[in-house]
Amino acid sequence: MAQSISLCVVLALALAGSAAAYPIYWADEYAPTCFAVPKAGKDCHKAPQTDRTTGIMLYPAGQSSGKPVTKACAGKAYNVMVTFPDRRLAYVALGAGSRVTTSAAAVKRCANSAVFSTSNGFKPSSRFTASGVAPMAVGSKWQVQVVSATGGCAPFMVASASIDVAKC
């Protein structure tokens, strides 16, 4: 009896750890490119769904409140704030030509991605802020994608935003 309880505890802890660390697992192991989001379910996560409940707002560097900006200046630093209606972990991809400067959340192989996961010190939250630098291509769109899940086996939730890049 004690062995089966111990085995259940070990198994539960192992599964909880892998579920909590999944955003970094996607970024490090499965993302085919540095802007890719899941296109199908993975492990116990169900297929991705469009997430209309996640907010993506852009603020000048050093700010995370007030009125968000509606366009980005090429090569300038910004805070990309992501808000959820509940507590989640997240993978944030800031698009080609941009780079993340949030060191604790940065993905080593992808300069434009950030992971807010327990494996790198983050707890599920209803808000994350990724600091980054806008692309240099004036007239382009700065694409931002956010992948999250409400729990270990919930569907992937995918939100996106497109921000005009201007010469300022």
Q: Which domains, from first to last, does the chain contain?
A: 2-166 (2.60.40.4060)
Residue keyed to tokens 């300069």: 111
What confidence score (pLDDT) does residue 158 get? Answer: 94
| SS3 of the chain: helix, strand, coil, percent, to 5 | 20, 40, 40
What confidence score (pLDDT) does residue 57 get? Answer: 97
Q: Give the chain's residues under pLDDT 70.
A: 1-30
